[in-house]
């Protein structure tokens, strides 16, 4: 039986990871968090004090690391880095390393290898446009930058971090610009994707909306 691929793309702060994880659980599929892969790569480079903007150096480092995903946990060379990769510092670095062509090529193969083994729900910024252009179902989650900043601000505050809302909004808008302006796999709405605006929806409403789309597309 053919493995099913569902992609969920969109800018930072739209709830892609949360929705993809819930959807994967509901369907019994594997959850592929592409953002976690880039964050782990950024962490590996940062730990060595290397230049995060140097394509050749990052390629050499990443070619010699091992990244594993186990449900909600992320392992870098056997060490659980699930919390370490979620800091604002690593988040900013992951956006910078994501523009490097060599890094994207390395992770492209890694992600496609997952799809050879199992049905999956993949989330990221180019999963439906570049990684899995022939995906069975493509979803694009969107929301205003203000709504996304408010969600991220509350999330960080709950974890004890204390950036201001203005700082979070600036970070999100800067990341949006980098993601959309990069020459290699920029953030776009994938062909045939269904756009879901989450600005005024709560988590349950987004899950219900996305699950309905998936059911309809898979039935068709």
Confidence at residue 190, expressed as pLDDT on a 0 to 100 scale = 95
Six token digits for residue 76 = 């870098």
The reply to whether CATH 3.30.460.80 applies to domain 5-209 is no
Asked if residue 83 lies in contact with residue 159, where contact means CB atoms within 8 angstroms, the answer is: no
Query: Which positions of the chain have pLDDT values less than 70?
Result: 1
Confidence at residue 1, expressed as pLDDT on a 0 to 100 scale = 67
Of 37, 36, 28, nearest in space to 6 by CA? 28
Six token digits for residue 44 = 């590996």
Q: In what order do the strands lie in the sheet with 67-70?
A: 67-70, 73-76, 79-80
* Distance (Å, whole) CA 74 – CA 72: 7
Per-residue exposure over 12-50, b if at least 16 CB sit within 10 Å of its own CB, e if not: bbbbbbebbbbbbeebebbbbbbbbbbbbbbbbbbeeee
Confidence at residue 195, expressed as pLDDT on a 0 to 100 scale = 97
218 to 25, 136, 138, 144, 156: CA distances (angstroms) = 16, 7, 11, 29, 36
| Domain edges within the chain | 5-209
**Each residue of 99-142: pLDDT tens digit?**
899 998 999 988 898 888 889 999 988 899 999 999 999 999 99
pTM of structure:
0.82
């Amino acid at each position: 039986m053919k493995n099913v691929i569902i992609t969920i793309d969109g800018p930072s702060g739209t709830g892609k990871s949360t929705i993809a994880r819930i959807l994967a659980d509901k369907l019994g599929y594997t959850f592929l968090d592409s953002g976690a892969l880039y964050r782990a790569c950024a962490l590996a480079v940062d730990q060595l004090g290397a230049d995060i903007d140097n394509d050749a150096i990052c390629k050499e480092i990443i070619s010699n690391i091992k990244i594993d995903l186990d449900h909600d946990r992320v392992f870098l060379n056997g060490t659980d880095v699930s919390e370490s990769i979620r800091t604002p510092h690593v988040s900013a670095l992951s956006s910078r390393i994501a523009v490097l062509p060599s890094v994207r090529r390395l992770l492209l193969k890694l992600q496609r290898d997952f799809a050879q083994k199992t049905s999956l729900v993949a989330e990221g910024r180019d999963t439906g446009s570049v990684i899995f252009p022939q995906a069975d179902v493509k979803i694009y989650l969107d929301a205003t930058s203000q709504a996304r900043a408010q969600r991220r601000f509350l999330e960080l505050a709950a974890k004890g971090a204390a950036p201001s809302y203005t700082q979070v909004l600036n970070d999100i808008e800067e990341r949006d610009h980098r993601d959309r302006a990069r020459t290699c796999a920029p953030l776009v709405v994938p062909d045939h994707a269904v756009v879901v605006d989450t600005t005024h929806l709560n988590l349950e409403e987004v899950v219900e909306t996305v699950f309905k789309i998936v059911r309809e597309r898979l039935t068709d």
